[in-house]
Structure formats: C-alpha cells, structure tokens
Chain A
Amino acid sequence: MNGLSNMPLLSVLLLLPLAGALACLAWGRRAAVVAVMLEAVVALVLQSGSATPALRWIRFEDWAWIERFGARISLGLDGLSLLLVWLTVILLAVAVGLSWPRYRQPGFYALLLTSCSGILGVFLAQDLLLFYLCWEIMLLPLILCIALWGGARRVEAAFKLLLFTLAGSLLMLLAFLGLFLLHGRQTGDYSFALQALGTTVIPPELAPWMFGCLAVAFLVKVPAVPLHGWLPDAYQEAPTAVTLLLSGVLAKAGIFGLVRVALPLFPATWNSFLPVLGVVALVSIGYGGWLAYVQTDLKRLVGYISVAHLGFILLGLAASNAMALQGALLQLFNHGIATAALFVVVALVERRTASRQLPQLGGLWSRTPQLGAMVLFFSLTALGLPGLNIFIGEILILLGAFRVQPWWGAAGMLGVLLAACYTLRMVQGILWGVPRGPEKMADMNRGEALILAPLTVLVLWFGLYPMPFLTLLRGPVEQLLTHIVTTGGLP
C-alpha cells in the first residue's frame, strides 16, 4: 500500500474527469463511462494507504502554480471532503447513467465531466485562487447544458442562474482579493493559501463586509431563501442529470464553502452571524416546505423539498455545536443521495407518463409496482422516516439546535411535519388513486434498477449504521469547533 500513499491521487482525481471530457470529444460518449469508472476506483482507494489518522489530512498535495501571486495548487483531503468526493462521484455516475438513453451527443457528457472536475476541485482546494477557479469551472458547463439541452424556457432559466451565481462569485472574488492584499501588506508574504490567510488580522470595520460578500456568494449557491430566485426555473428546465448535480452536489459546495472558507477566515464574524443564519435556515425550512406543498410540477416540487432540507443543514451550522455540526455535515451526503434519488424517480416516472404535472398523474402503483415502491421509498426518506438517512441528520441537527436555542429546535420540528405534508401529497398524486395516462407501461428495466439500487443501499446504510461515516467527520468538526471556540465562541 505504500505505493498508493505516494501517488498523487488527488491530482489524478481532479484531472481525470477533464481528461475524460477531452476523450469524450475525441472518441464519443463511451469514454465518459470509462472516465467515471476510473474516477470511482480512484475515489475508493483514496482512503487506503493514508497517513496516520492523527494528522488533519488524509492526503495532502502541493504543486507550484503561479509563483508571482503566491498561488499554489494545494489539495487537502480530510473526512469531510472524502465524503463529498464520494458523493460527487456517485452522483456523476447516476447522472451519466440516467442521461445515457436520452442524450447521445458526446458534448453533453464532456460538459458534465468538466463540471465534475470543478466540483472536486472546490472540495479539495486549499488555495483560494484555485478554489475560485474551480468554483467557476463547476458552474459554467452546467449552465451551458441547461441552455443547450434544457426544456422549453431553457435560455431564460440558464440566464437567470448565470446572473445569480456570477454575481455571487464576483463578490467572493472581491473578498478573496481583499484578503490577499491585506495579508500581503501585513506579512509581506503574498499568498492565497487558506491556511496562511486564516491568520490575517482583519480590521473590524472591514470584516463584516468581506464576510457578507462570502456569505452571499455561498448562500446563493445553497440556495437559502430569499436568495433562491434562480432555483425553480433552473431545476424545472434543466435536463435531470444537471438538476441532480445542481441540487445534489452544487448546493453542498455552497455549504462547504461556508464551513471551509468563511468560517476559518472570519471566525469572530461567523459567531455574530449565527443568529441571522438560524433565522434564514428556519425561513428556508418553512418557506420551502410550504411552497413544495402547492407545487404541481414534480421537478419544481422536489426542488422546493431540497430547499427545505438544505434549511435543516443551515440550521445545524447555525447551532454550531459538535452534535449539530456533525449532523449537518453528514446531512450533506444524505441530502445529496436522497434528492438525487428523488429526481431520478421523477425522471423515470416522466419517461413513462410523458408528464410531470401532478394532476395528470395517478395510480402508477397498479402498473409499475417496482417503480412505485422506489417512489414511495425515497419519498419516505425525504419525509424523514427513522431508519432512513435523512432522519439521522435531522435528529442530530435538531438535538444540537435545541441545546443552543430551544425555539430553533422546536420550529425545526414543525418543518418535519411539513415534510410529511408535502411528500405524502406527492406520493398520493403519483402512486395512488385512479390510474391516469397510458394503460400499459413497462416497469423498471435493469439499467434503471442499477441506478437506484446503490442509492437505496446508501439510504439504508446511513440510516441504520451511520457510525463509520460520523467517525470520518469527527476530525473536521473538531477543527471547526476550535475555530469557533478560540474566538469567544458560544455560550
């Protein structure tokens, strides 16, 4: 195993999708499958042959990049990023598998792979310039995908998404540059390294502004209410593969940015920002859930469900104690799997009924019981049924939040009731009642089952035996807590 620990696996992980994208353009879309498989292999061996667990990083790689600006390609992998790398690779595989029968152009797959490279870069980057670069790389290909392969109003949706996120990322760049200059002036060492910038002394009148820039940039990506304006149209119009990457992984990038970049750079501001974040989180839970209840388009509905669930994760961050943070970070993975699975079943339903509108659906169970069971299963996951993965994250977040601020926990509980309202309405509309649509339809075929089976296993595994993964997160959470506590911290 020594050979493995010396190999620059993180760089391989990062560049492989890009290479896959080029290969796609050269040799057709089959190259995408090879690339995804190789990527999965790399992601699985990442952990093995790692250094001693006492160290902060499981793996760390550092390459020279732009010496003049002190920007380096430094990549760090700890438990949190490992979990998110796994999530990204799984969802990439699901996205490719789901698009396979429908999209034949290699360009589509090339764009997905490119975006995936960017996402992985965001999760691994320890250098802010690299982080920013990857942040843009992860989004632009997806926007192109929407604009080229989306639904009827694709251009409008893509443009809206571009506008929102570009505004966000420009604010982010502004904050990064400000920090870069400040740090350089103070120490004479002009560097973009996250580690180094964390020690910058930030003038108190400047800190809230810079932090605000970062917070807006990241919250737009999550998205938190009221910055979610791009979401309904983008989710509805995008090809399902893109929707599931947007909701499953890109949303996580926003939250990852909050805890990995905004928190360590501005720990003091972070603490005073928590009450605001708590309210934003609760508004997201309630507002997202309420709107999910009145939607008729399934993709929009799942989109709002996602907003509500992300609200829970934000609530965990707002509580910022060990339990809530660990729950929130685990929930990043759980939510990714659950939402992606919901989008997949919606796509499968749409394949058969040619409609996504609830009033035109119904009685699916009598014709496709297996697909029906999958719809039911993942809806129950979203509902937060104990024993399935979403519940684990939610209960840890709520237990933690109640310790910090009882009414947060109590209000969060109401969100759990809302979850039952909207998911059962969805299940009722799709599965039960008088059969609508075509008389005969095929049940799940082998390929479709192959996409959903791993997701089912993961949902159950994380719901029943989450300890191995929670242990992975223990180190990163302690790291975050030291940042929070050393600067005054919480009561």
Chain B
Amino acid sequence: MMGELLFLIPLLPLGGALVILFAGGRMPRRMLSGVAIASVAASAAMTLWLWPLAGDRTRATLFTWLDVGALQLPVEILFSPLAAAMTLMVTVVSALIHVYAASYLHHEPDIRRFFTLFNLFVFAMLVIVLADNLLLLFLGWEGVGFCSYALIGFWYRNPDFAAAGRKAFLVTRAADVLFGIALLWLFRLTGTLSIEAINLQAASLPPTTVTILALLLLAGACGKSAQLPFSSWLPDAMAGPTPVSALIHAATMVTAGVYLLCRMFPLISLSAIALAVIGLIGAATAFYGATCALVQRDIKKVLAYSTISQVGYMFLAVGAGTVTGAMFHLLTHAFFKALLFMVAGAVIHLAAGEQDLFRLGQLSKRSPTLFWLLLVGALALAGVPLTAGFFSKDAILAACFARQTLWWTSLGIAGLVTAFLTALYAIRLVYLLAADRESASGHGPAPRGLVWPLLPLGALALVGGLLNLPAVWGGHETLGRWLETPAGALPSHDLEWGLAAATLLLVAGAWLFIRNRYRVPPTVSPGGAGVSFLAAGWQLDSLIRVIITAPFEKIGCLLEKSVERRLSATWPAGLGRLCQVTGQSWRVLTSGYVSHYLAAMAWGMVLLLAMLVVLLVL
C-alpha cells in the first residue's frame, strides 16, 4: 500500500500544475505561487517520508498503459536508491527555485503560465527519474523537452527567444530519434521495455549490437545533456527567465542524459568501445565548454557553457565506469550551479536587466550576501579543495587515472586541463562581478525571497562533499554505499593525494593569473579572431546551419516547386485535358444536324435488320 503512495511524488506537482492552469486565473498572485511552491515542497516531503522504501527497491503500478500483442506496458515506477537520490535532489532544488521564482517574477503579468509549466516540468522530470520502463521514461523525456521549449520562449514577443526555444526542442528531438531507434531495437531484441529486464538480458545480446545500442542511447543522452555535437541549443536557451535556466538548464533536465546512462549502465558497460566513446565525448565536451566559457561576456552564457562543460565531466565519469562518481558530481553540480544561476539572476535583477559582465560590478559593495554566495558557488565550481565540487571532480579524474591505460590517462589529463580552465573562468566571473567600476544601476537591495533560497544551496555547495567523502579523507563513501552502483577502478591513495595537490596547484595558478589580469577592471575590447571564435561556441551554430538547416529548407522549397507542382497541378491538369480532348473528339457524333441523326438512325436500322436476318438464317 505504501508503494502506491510513491505515485504522489510526481502527481503532486502535476496536480499543482492543473490547479494553476484551471483555477489560476481567479487566484490572487500570492496564492498562485503558493500552490506551485506547496505542491513541489509536498513532493519533496513525500520523498523524505517514503525514503525507506528505496532500500527495498519498491515497485508500484498504477494501471496498464498499453497491452498489445507482445508489449505489456504498465505505468510502473521503481523507487531504487539511485532514483531516490535523484528524486530528492530534484524535488528539493525545485522547491527552492520555485520560491526564488515567485520572488524573481513579481513584476511578470503572466505568472500563471509560468508556474503551470514550471510545475509540469517537475512532474515530467520526476517521471523520467522514477519510470520503470523506457516508454514511460520517454514520456517524461519529451515532457521536459516541451516544458523547456515553452519556458525558454516564455517571453514570446521577442521572436529570437521563441526561436531559441524551438531550437532547443528540435536539437534534442534530433537526438531523440536515435534514442527512439534504440528503444525500438531493444524491444525487438528483448521483447520488453522494462529497464531492469533489459539490463538483465543485456549479457545475452551479441556484442556488436550492444555497442551500437549503447552508442544510440549515448546520442539520446547527448541531446538532452547538451553534449557535443548536440550542444548548441543550451547557450541559446539562456533566453528563458533565470529560474528556468537554474532549474531546467543547470540542475535537472540537462543531467537527465547522465541519469539515463546510469540507469542503463549494466547494458552500456558490456561494450568497452561504447564506454571509451562516452569518455571521449565527455572529456571533449568538458574542454569545449570550458574554452567557450572563458571568453563569454553574457553572465548567463558563461554559466551555460560551464554547465555543458561540467556535464561533460559526468559523461567522462560514466565512461570511466564510475556511476557513483557521475551521480556524485551530478548532485554537487546541481547545488552549486543552481546557486550560481540564482545569484546571477539576482545580480541581473539588481542591475535592472543588464547581463553584460563588463557593465556589471561592485557586487561586494552593493550586496555582500550575494557576493559571498557567488564566491561559494564559484569556489565549488573551480574545485577548490574541501568544497563539494573538489571531491566530486577529483573522484572522476581519479577513476580515469586508475584505469591505467593510455586512453583513460589522456582523457584524465584532458580533464585536468579542463579543471584549470574551469578555475580560470570561475575566478574571472568573481573578479568581473566584484570589479570596482560604474555599474548599471537598478533598484535597491535584493528582495529577501531572492536570497534565502540560496542559503541552503550555498551550504550544500560548501559541504556537499561529505555526501561521498572518500576513505582517504576519513569518509565512508556514503553515497556510493547507498546507491550500490559501480564505482569503477579503485584509485590508490597516492593517486588521490597527488590529484588533490594537482588540483590545488591548478586553482592557485588560475587565481594568480586572473588576479593579475583583472585586478584593474578591464575595458571592453573587441578581442581577436580567436576570442570571437570561442565566443561563438567554435562556430558550431553556423556549421550546423550550413550543413543541415539550410539544405533542408532549400530542398523543401525545391520539392514544392518541382515535384509537387507536377503531381498536384501539371499532371492532373493533363489528365483533365485528356478527358476534355476525348470528349471533344466524340462530340462530332452529336453535331446537332437532323440529317446526321436521321442518317445514323437509318444505318442503325439497316445494321439491326442485317443482324436479324443473319440470326434467322443460322
């Protein structure tokens, strides 16, 4: 009976969304946002209350969605430790961001639409997390895609914002095609769509097939998680309101891809090639994102590229075989990146909508609380020792080096380089925001509703490392024990100490470098070709436009002008003309002259008589 209660976790936010959708118009604003916050908070409380069920991997079924031929598809959820950890993170972070959003959007006239979609998003995300079968997961998967689309384009009057939403949807959907093919194929091979059943049967599948399947799943994950080559939608997605960026495009939805790979890990891990590719994509994307983040001028774009880069680390972790490490980094990243986004939102709010880093500043004077929170977030992002980000990132790098092969060592080195770049852009962000210069003015201090949801996240960003403190640091690896997921190759103690020292050196180096460069507030300079190349995300957008989008439109127009015109105009007209010509040629029969008709009658009579005679004679 307790098991069925699990359905309340996703259904509460859905209920909230429906209430707001249908009754929101008649509610006062405070009540409306209250309903939204309460439904998500209740869902978080529910998760905590039902937490013990996760230990037994409880399943619960609501009803049969589809039962056709070989396909049995119940609406079933599986509350495993992995799902429970993710659920708790999603609900708690969502609840905090909901509180923040209620305060952030206090001038926005259409908060009914915003909170409907926001709650709906939490519902869809929880469906992804809790779903037991791939099709139900797909429902959540597309559901978050839609909410992301609608929320990125929330300020729809600006066509660019709406186009950014559409781009996000289309790019992720392109990746979903590959995911969908994997789903169809898995069903053909195993006759089921239940994730657990598939994982159990995975070992009996032919190895090449497993590799292809794993790569298809990887593609789907890359789309949702904005990994190369599907990464280009995330920077544009910053067009949405900042709470949306914090929740959807930092903490939860973009990590859904990682979560999918973690859920399917028993299948994926059967293919060494797939793991190597996952690691490569992760490391490459981490590096790519970090280089782009270095030169962005828009505060939200820095964070967007940073998210791409950090999620790359999680992919690297999955590739290196440490699901625990991936989940650990996923959790800590959710804390510090949500924090950073919300700080950024508050900063933008203070500066009356200014997002250009070179026009912001004096944060430490104008709002010390926000500055300290920013510093905490940035330190965790940079991986300064003892912050949450340090432990989770080092766990990933350690797992890479512990594999002790050339491939993984080089990926680990790439990860280290990226760590240096990460420290650079994180500290640059702090310096630019604190710079002593004329900054865009705005209204007074940050509202309290904008600040206090950040405090718990700030605390978690600082001490989140305790979640999975490695034994070297005197911890018990609590998270790893709870999740019971593979942790990859075990690093030696020397390796861990060495990595910690290396990280410390890199961060210190980065700090020195940035301090020298940005101590005097820099003036706005256009930057060289290299900078603009990085700032445009390595020109990925224009590349995609040239290779895919433009030809697609061109061929479409061509089809319309040539083939379709023939099929629907020229040839039918020809057919019509044929009928007409035939009719015309027979028209001579009915000439209208009585003499012709009489002659025809006479000849007819003659013919009939002749036939009669012949018949009689025979």
Give the residues in chain A near B579, CB-CB below 8 Å.
163
B33-41, B92-100, B165-173, B375-383 - the one binding chain A: B165-173
Give the residues in chain B near A414, CB-CB below 8 Å.
177
Q: Is the CB of B568 within 8 A of A470?
A: no
Q: Is residue A56 within 8 Å, beta carbon to beta carbon, of the partner chain?
A: no
Q: Is residue A434 within 8 Å, beta carbon to beta carbon, of the partner chain?
A: yes
Chain B window 437-450, contacts with chain A (Cβ cutoff 8 Å), 1 for yes, 0 for no: 00000000000000
Interface residues of B in 144-199 (CB under 8 A from A): 146, 149-150, 153, 156-157, 159, 162-163, 166, 169-170, 173-174, 176-177, 180-181, 184-185, 187-188
Q: Is the CB of A421 within 8 A of B184?
A: no
| A467-B572 in contact given A366-B157, A414-B177, A420-B170 (Cβ < 8 Å) | no
> How far is B559's CA from A232's CA once the two chains are assembled, in angstroms?
14
Q: Is the CB of A395 within 8 A of B157?
A: no
| Closest A-B pairs by Cβ, 3 of them | A432-B162, A322-B69, A386-B139
Q: Is the CB of B559 within 8 A of A470?
A: no
Q: Is the CB of B188 within 8 A of A406?
A: yes
| A163-B572 in contact given A323-B68, A327-B68, A410-B181 (Cβ < 8 Å) | yes
13 residue pairs bridging A and B, Cβ less than 8 Å apart: A229-B568, A229-B569, A291-B559, A293-B552, A322-B70, A323-B69, A386-B135, A387-B143, A402-B185, A420-B169, A421-B552, A424-B166, A428-B162
Interface of B is mostly: helix
Q: Is the CB of A229 within 8 A of B163?
A: no
Q: Is residue A212 within 8 Å, beta carbon to beta carbon, of the partner chain?
A: no
Interface residues of B in 71-97 (CB under 8 A from A): 71
Give the residues in chain B near A226, CB-CB below 8 Å.
567
Q: Is residue B497 within 8 Å, beta carbon to beta carbon, of the partner chain?
A: no
> How far is B568's CA from A228's CA once the two chains are assembled, in angstroms?
7
| A417-B68 in contact given A386-B139, A433-B162 (Cβ < 8 Å) | no
Give the residues in chain A near B555, CB-CB below 8 Å.
290
Q: Is the CB of A387 within 8 A of B139?
A: yes
> How far is B183's CA from A398's CA once the two chains are assembled, in angstroms?
10
Residue of A293, A396, A432 touching B156 (CB-CB under 8 A): A432
> How far is B156's CA from A369's CA once the two chains are assembled, in angstroms?
12
Q: Is residue A466 within 8 Å, beta carbon to beta carbon, of the partner chain?
A: yes
Q: Is residue B564 within 8 Å, beta carbon to beta carbon, of the partner chain?
A: yes
Give the residues in chain B near A424, CB-CB below 8 Å.
149, 166, 169-170
Q: Is residue B49 within 8 Å, beta carbon to beta carbon, of the partner chain?
A: no
Chain B interface (Cβ < 8 Å from any Cβ of A):
63-71, 113, 135, 138-139, 141-143, 146, 149-150, 153, 156-157, 159, 162-163, 166, 169-170, 173-174, 176-177, 180-181, 184-185, 187-188, 552-553, 555-557, 559-560, 563-564, 567-569, 571-572, 575-576, 579
Q: Which residue of B lies closest to A474 (CB)?
A: B68
Q: Which residue of B lies closest to A421 (CB)?
A: B170
> How far is B173's CA from A228's CA once the two chains are assembled, in angstroms?
29
Q: Is the CB of A406 within 8 A of B576?
A: no
Residue of A160, A291, A392 touching B556 (CB-CB under 8 A): A291
> How far is B552's CA from A231's CA once the two chains are assembled, in angstroms?
23
20 additional A-B pairs beyond A287-B563, A432-B156, A467-B63, beta carbons within 8 Å, are A163-B576, A164-B572, A230-B572, A293-B552, A293-B556, A294-B553, A294-B556, A321-B69, A386-B139, A395-B135, A399-B71, A399-B184, A400-B69, A402-B188, A413-B184, A414-B177, A416-B177, A421-B552, A425-B166, A434-B159
Q: Is the CB of A233 within 8 A of B156?
A: no
> How far is B519's CA from A356's CA once the two chains are assembled, in angstroms?
58
Q: Which residue of A lies closest to B578 (CB)?
A: A163
Interface residues of A in 308-367 (CB under 8 A from B): 321-323, 326-327, 362-363, 365-366
Q: Is residue A257 within 8 Å, beta carbon to beta carbon, of the partner chain?
A: no
Give the residues in chain B near A20, CB-CB below 8 Å.
none
